[in-house]
Structure 1
Amino acid sequence: MSKDGALGRQDKSDWLEDILISIGEGKSVRRDLPGGGRLHIDRPLPFLCIHIAEDGAEPTARDVAQANASYLTAPHAAPAIKVIDAVANTLEERFGAFILLDIGELSQDRFLTVDAPFLPPFEVSIWSSADATAAADAFSAAVSDSEVRFRTPQVEKTEAAPLSDDKQIARELGCSAVAVRFAPVYRRPGSEEIYPELREQLVAMFFDAGLQAFASFIGMRQLFKLTTHRALGRKAFIDAVARVDRSIDEVASTFDFLLAVTPINAAAAFDAFKASGRQVQPPFLYRPLELQVEAIKRRLFSISFEHLEDPVLYQLYREKQQELDLQLSLLSSRHHPKFVEFGRALYEPVERPLLREARTILTGLAGSEPNGADDAGVGDQIADCFQVERRAKAMIAAYQRQGADFKASVELRDDLPSGLMVSGHRLLIARSTLMDTRRVEPLLSHEIGVHLLTYFNGSAQGLRLFRSGLSGYEGMQEGLAVFAEYLSGGMTPERLKVIAGRVVGCASMLDGATFSETYSMLVDDNNFTEPAAFNVVLRLYRGGGLAKDAIYLRGLLALLDHLKNGGALEPFWMGKIATSHFAVMQELAERGLLRLPAIQPIFLHTDAGRARLERARSGMRPLDMIQRQEP
């Protein structure tokens, strides 16, 4: 930092003084600077990432800088030095040490030519002050070890800062510093056109490397303890995130995907199927779409993610945008052959290990006979829709005692197949529902204790994305919901048989079998009763063939493996997330962006539920959920 006192507090303008006061009080700062650029400080931290370049000249380096919790961007060095020096002094006084990361781009990609017969490494030049060599080494190692999918970075340390003499900010300030310049490999050679995917990968790689450098610096000086370098990321959502979140949620709220692909004439369809001698697929009727798919897609892709700044959130919203696009494509192709292919893309085909597990379950349960609805055997004591409704309202009231915001509603519906489903904050119960009374509590644990609970806990996270669901969340959500049935003591052979039957039926449907062929396979080869088989096949062939029902067993197997490997269950209650997002949720929690789940599942409040969970942690397959059900 400057030693001559020329930048003493008495010379600072009022706006800069306000910034330093805010930092001193531990407040956040987000301010556009005179002459261009921005200072953003999520919270006081012992580092600042800077990028100095004309607006738009080095967009990738700018995005790397802006991804950080503490950054400054500016078009020119001279006016920025005053701000950087003042902020650096203030933060060093607070923490006892401070480091500057100067990120920028080289003027050209000198290793690559238009006619290169292969993709050579790309240049990354790093300079550090003498007291920041460990941080530079951490940055270099992170870049070198990254799983790049474009070109291998060739990291070189240099004695001179990789800047022109008039921009040697790191040296001029005299603070601990690392300066990085990388080749603009995201640009097409000889052109200003960019490769968007490469740019995203570069931003993610250099951002993570920067966090590792900061973590190394903090650890060497023992400034404070870190559980992970990712904890140095942002702890507050900027306005741009809230705008994108609201826009994505508004698109998602224009349709209810599952209701739109659920037939409204299930009972009549079964009668028609029986009248045909069980040979002809009956016609299914659906609710008319209340949206124009093309118009909603235009809204979806008009949402700009350009100003999100946080690479993690950027990726989550991009994934959700792509998932919504697939769902809309499915809705627009109901009754058309391509519906099944869109469904295959959204829910994935039935992989061989999953099919093998399903067949193992069906073999192990060869003597059981599910009856009636697809998710319950019917015993001597039968519960109708009104009994289910009363118990559902009682369970919702119990959850409301944990949190007043658990404002779920219960609706009896004539336009649903027998059973239950959740839509947003609503529990929908078909009036035709009849089930064994022993299955009521487990099924409500499935629908209320998982689907509604994660909806309301997700709502409390500050972003609607966590209540509507991250991309691909349905597999783990349904696996978790099936596991909840086990934890509440209600995983019957009949129920598990249906879950496995959905998988083999889905594989049959995707392989091109007709409705009647899949139905016969369940009845003749797997001992399903006719009503149970029809309910399974109706779900599989709705819309033209929906591959969704394989996700219940797939999600359950993923969850059991997760628990066996020592994975925690708590993050799954924070909102609707996929298995692939577990590390992301942990990172966001470490950064303080997520709250602990306000409402906990009731079935884990019991000794029996906790005992069953511990059994699952010791290693369990789906069949064991029946064999070892009671504690």
Structure 2
Amino acid sequence: MNSEDGRITSQVIEDVCARLRENKRIQQPLPGGGMLQMDRLLPFLCVYRRNPTRRDEGTSKLVMSEASYLCAPGNAVQRSGLRELIREIAKTAIDRLGSFLIMEIWSGEDRVETDEVTGELCLPRAMFQILARRPYRPQGTVATLEFALQRVRVHRRAAKVEIKMVAENHPNGMKELMSEAVETQIGCHVMGLEVRPVYRDPETGELYDRISRSFGRQVSHALKKSFFVFALTRTEMRPEHYHALGTSRLSMQILTIDRKLAELSREFKFLLLVTPINAERSWNSFVESGYHKPPSFEYRPLDQDPLLLKRRLMNIHAERVDNPTLAHVFRQTQLELDRQITMLADIDTDRFLPGSLQVFDRVAPKLRDLARDILSNLADLEPVGEVEMMDANQFAEFADKEIQYYRDQSPLFAANVTIRDDIFSGLLVAGGDLLIGRQTRIAKSRAEALLQHEVGTHLVTYFNGSAQPLRLLQVGLAGYDALQEGLAVFAEYLVGGLSAGRMRTLAARVIAADQLVQGLSFLEVFSQLVEAFGFEPRTAYTITLRVFRGGGLTKDALYLQGLVKILDYLGSGGDLEPLMVGKMAVQHVPIIRELLLCGVLRTPPLRPKYLDTPAARDRLAKINPDTTVLDLISKTRREL
């Protein structure tokens, strides 16, 4: 039992401190629906006490996202036990770390804000009050917290932060958690943080969901930065980064939601379903018509009812996740899956393209201009003469050898190579398998590059993701396609296989996707690729098919867009290693680093083979902030 007549017992306190001394995780229910949770021995404890006199929606989440927190009823401090529990936790931590910080957080009054001139409602500005006892201490921690909170933005306005040095650094109407005398005696520090509740309706108390999630993430980062400075300046801990003070384990709630989203995502192979099964027959008919009759495509029947998939998707309660960062990631994924399922229902209709624009976006003018520059500058660099080719069977044998290399690294790598009749010439990764169209013919000079694109990138990140506790890193976080394709194309460059012809193809996909959105027909896009940009008819057909499949798929513009993002990322000092953890978007890289630093994610078991070659390392080292996509081709040509 954790209480006697609503009191926290001495036995509970002893058990908590014993586990803390052994650096074990603590999950201790408290009277009145409270909870003490400590991921491990850390130099801080975030405290929230529910005010019994008013509604206070959303405020408890500000502490529950931290690795060490205590939530309790607001009148619990009057019961014997709560202050003793906090004091003994502090003393236990101080014995091992040298000091301890108690950060109590509460919300200020709800107020409706209006314009002084018009009387109209105004969007409130985030405001914080940091309350530290006299003397001004711990100085570095307070200054860091102030600086970090000033960078919190709500409604596009930076937060206002005040520092108050007062004896009473606790909520109005409640007793202090620890007296100043005890605080000084045991070497503890107690701070208060009053938060303006911009995350809820001041009249009804209902949460503004989107603002609440964004606000929570920003405040969490600010708190961790202050805890980091406290650890370095006041304790014997030396954390590597402020993210290292986050939760090192995922709750069962998080793991359950992650698995449900990943399982649902695996139940339909999106790209396979939107790819025509009669592409070769349509090509033959297209040739027979003299390229004047647009092809008619057929698609695989859906083996899942989109409505039932959506029903299951909406029953996954991602909004209930306490961790604000992962809640944001889950919500993004849920929304993208919802849109993809809608696209499946709309295959081969006029509604498919608007869905594609929601998931993969339209072509930005800057990207379109880059594509035109590539097609113009590389027009005369196409290879001439006879090129030695590999057929589907030969490439499958080549890929099998590469897959065996990764199987020797890890038994997790369970990829298979399959030659399919229902795939037009080309390669496709579906789940953990490499699919090859039976009509595929690949230039031997390009084989290694395509192998590193499909196997060394797509399959390696797929199986690295399967080694992580977050299964979504295997199937892909929301918006992962651009970074994945950019990384895969960059791998082609690192092995010296990013040819001018390949770059022209990627640029042509951008132009074709842009023209699709502008309303041009299949025949118009095909004709321009042949007549204006000099592509062979079969190549132009393949590019046009890929863009028009399903009813209009703008995904193919992401290859060049992703390559630009990779160069920007590397040029600004980014490292390739975190990108190998799984399938993610650029926006997720800081989150992945955070989860790696706090121990939630593991070092990926598989490392792309090409990263260990001297040539690839040399090419990678030459990337700088001024490197452009066109530079990759010129560098490759100089090396040759």
Give the TM-score taking structure 1 as reference length. Answer: 0.92
- Structural mapping, 1:57-456, within 5 Å: 57-75=55-73, 76-77=76-77, 78=79, 79-109=81-111, 116-121=120-125, 123-130=127-134, 131-149=137-155, 153-158=159-164, 159=166, 160-171=168-179, 174=183, 175-221=188-234, 223-368=236-381, 379-456=386-463
Aligned to 1:546: 553
1:111–1:133 distance in 2 versus 1, CA, 3 Å: farther
Q: CA deviation at 1:511?
A: 0.8
Does the CA-based 8 Å contact 1:473-1:576 persist in structure 2? yes
Q: CA deviation at 1:12?
A: 5.5
Q: Distance in 1 between matches of 2:127 and 2:565?
A: 40
Does the CA-based 8 Å contact 1:121-1:153 persist in structure 2? yes
- Structural mapping, 1:529-568, within 5 Å: 529-568=536-575
1:220–1:449 distance in 2 versus 1, CA, 3 Å: same
Q: Distance in 1 between matches of 2:148 and 2:389?
A: 61
Question: More deviation in 327-336 or 224-233?
Answer: 224-233
Question: More deviation in 322-331 or 171-180?
Answer: 171-180
Does the CA-based 8 Å contact 2:112-2:121 persist in structure 1? no
1:398–1:529 distance in 2 versus 1, CA, 3 Å: same
Letter in 1 for 2:143: D
Question: More deviation in 157-166 or 301-310?
Answer: 157-166
Superimposed CA distance per residue, residues 288-312 of structure 1 (whole angstroms, 9 cap, x where no aligned partner): 1111112211211221134432211
Question: More deviation in 167-176 or 596-605?
Answer: 167-176
Letter in 2 for 1:326: R
1:611–1:290 distance in 2 versus 1, CA, 3 Å: same
Q: Which runs of 4+ in 1 moved over 4 A?
A: 110-117
Q: CA deviation at 1:122?
A: 5.1
1:106–1:210 distance in 2 versus 1, CA, 3 Å: same
Q: CA deviation at 1:70?
A: 0.4
Q: Distance in 1 between matches of 2:619 and 2:47?
A: 52
* SS in structure 1 of the partner of residue 285 of structure 2: helix
Q: Distance in 2 between matches of 1:194 and 1:515?
A: 48
* SS in structure 2 of the partner of residue 145 of structure 1: coil
Superimposed CA distance per residue, residues 360-387 of structure 1 (whole angstroms, 9 cap, x where no aligned partner): 11112213558xxxxxx99442211111
Does the CA-based 8 Å contact 1:109-1:185 persist in structure 2? no
Letter in 1 for 2:69: Y
Superimposed CA distance per residue, residues 205-257 of structure 1 (whole angstroms, 9 cap, x where no aligned partner): 32222222222322332533344322211111111110111111121111111
1:178–1:282 distance in 2 versus 1, CA, 3 Å: same
* SS in structure 2 of the partner of residue 99 of structure 1: strand
Q: Distance in 2 between matches of 1:627 and 1:137?
A: 50
Q: Distance in 2 between matches of 1:516 and 1:120?
A: 54
- Structural mapping, 1:485-500, within 5 Å: 485-500=492-507
* SS in structure 1 of the partner of residue 169 of structure 2: coil
Aligned to 1:22: 19
1:616–1:165 distance in 2 versus 1, CA, 3 Å: closer
Letter in 1 for 2:432: H
Question: More deviation in 236-245 or 177-186?
Answer: 177-186
Q: Distance in 2 between matches of 1:22 and 1:379?
A: 72
1:618–1:20 distance in 2 versus 1, CA, 3 Å: same
Does the CA-based 8 Å contact 1:125-1:162 persist in structure 2? no
Q: Distance in 1 between matches of 2:522 and 2:15?
A: 70
Question: More deviation in 532-541 or 602-611?
Answer: 602-611
1:121–1:404 distance in 2 versus 1, CA, 3 Å: closer
Q: Distance in 2 between matches of 1:362 and 1:22?
A: 65
* SS in structure 2 of the partner of residue 271 of structure 1: helix
Q: Distance in 1 between matches of 2:67 and 2:331?
A: 21
Q: CA deviation at 1:553?
A: 0.5
Aligned to 2:5: none
1:187–1:492 distance in 2 versus 1, CA, 3 Å: closer
Q: CA deviation at 1:165?
A: 4.8
Superimposed CA distance per residue, residues 245-296 of structure 1 (whole angstroms, 9 cap, x where no aligned partner): 1111121111111001000111111122223332332111111111111221
Aligned to 2:48: 51
Q: Distance in 2 between matches of 1:499 and 1:448?
A: 19
Q: CA deviation at 1:321?
A: 0.9
1:524–1:121 distance in 2 versus 1, CA, 3 Å: closer
Does the CA-based 8 Å contact 2:244-2:598 persist in structure 1? yes
Q: CA deviation at 1:88?
A: 1.4
* SS in structure 1 of the partner of residue 622 of structure 2: helix
Q: Provide the alpha-carbon RMSD of the alignment.
A: 2.3
Superimposed CA distance per residue, residues 505-556 of structure 1 (whole angstroms, 9 cap, x where no aligned partner): 1111111100000000000000000000000000000111100000001111
Q: Distance in 2 between matches of 1:152 and 1:146?
A: 6
Aligned to 2:4: none
Letter in 1 for 2:21: G
Q: Distance in 1 between matches of 2:282 and 2:480?
A: 31
Letter in 2 for 1:96: G
* SS in structure 2 of the partner of residue 91 of structure 1: helix
Superimposed CA distance per residue, residues 102-134 of structure 1 (whole angstroms, 9 cap, x where no aligned partner): 011224327569954534545533312333344
Letter in 2 for 1:14: Q
Question: More deviation in 72-81 or 615-624?
Answer: 615-624
Q: CA deviation at 1:588?
A: 1.6
Letter in 1 for 2:129: S
Extract unaligned runs of 5+ from structure 1: 1-10, 371-376
Does the CA-based 8 Å contact 1:109-1:122 persist in structure 2? no
Q: Distance in 2 between matches of 1:221 and 1:266?
A: 67
Indicate whether 1:525 and 2:532 are aligned.
Answer: yes
Q: Distance in 2 between matches of 1:113 and 1:20?
A: 52
Q: Distance in 1 between matches of 2:189 and 2:202?
A: 35
Indicate whether 1:504 and 2:502 are aligned.
Answer: no
Give the TM-score taking structure 2 as reference length. Answer: 0.91
Q: Distance in 1 between matches of 2:478 and 2:197?
A: 31
Does the CA-based 8 Å contact 1:475-1:578 persist in structure 2? yes
Q: CA deviation at 1:405?
A: 1.4
Q: Distance in 2 between matches of 1:137 and 1:477?
A: 40
* SS in structure 1 of the partner of residue 48 of structure 2: strand
Does the CA-based 8 Å contact 1:450-1:484 persist in structure 2? yes
Superimposed CA distance per residue, residues 421-442 of structure 1 (whole angstroms, 9 cap, x where no aligned partner): 1111111111111122222221
Question: More deviation in 98-107 or 73-82?
Answer: 73-82
Question: More deviation in 133-142 or 35-44?
Answer: 133-142
- Structural mapping, 1:37-48, within 5 Å: 37-48=34-45
